[in-house]
Structure 1
Amino acid sequence: MTAESAQCLTDFERAAASVLPADVRDFVAGGSGAELTLDANRAALDRVFLVPRMLRDVSHCTTRTTLLGRPVPMPVAIAPVAYQRLVSPDGELAAARAAKEAGVPFTVSMLSSVPVEEITALGGTVWFQLYWLRDSAQTLRLAHRAEEAGCEALVLTVDVPWMGRRLRDVRNRFTLPGHVRAAHLEARSTAHQRQAGDSALAVHTGQAFSSSVTWESVAALREQTRLPLVLKGILAPADAVRAAESGVDAIVVSNHGGRQLDGAAPSIDALAELAPALPASCEILLDSGIRSGTDVLKALALGASGVLVGRPVIWGVAAAGEAGARRVLDLLGAELRDALGLSGCGSVPAARQLRAYQKR
Structure 2
Amino acid sequence: MPTINQQVRLAERPAPGLADPSIWSLTHEPVAQPAEGEVLVEVLYCSLDPAMRTWLNAGRSYIPPVGIGEVMRAAGVGRVAASKAAGFAKGDIVEGVFGIQKFVAIAADQVQRIEADGTPPEVHLGALGTPGLTAYFGLLDVGKAKQGDTVVISAAAGAVGTVAGQIAKAIGCRVIGIAGGHEKCRILVDELGFDGAVDYRAEDFGAALRAACPQGIDVFFDNVGGAVLNAVLRNLAQGARIVVCGAVSQYNATSVGPGPTNYMNLLIARASMIGFVIFDYQDRYPEGRKQLAEWIADGKIKPRTHLVKGLENFPTALNQLFAGDNVGKFVLQVAEVP
Shorter-chain TM-score tier: 0.3 to 0.5
> What's the TM-score once normalised by structure 1's chain length?
0.31
Q: Which of the pair is proportionally richer in helix?
A: 1
> What's the TM-score once normalised by structure 2's chain length?
0.33
Q: Which of the pair is proportionally richer in strand?
A: 2
- Higher-Rg structure is 2
Q: Which has the higher contact order (CA 8 A, sep 6+)?
A: 1
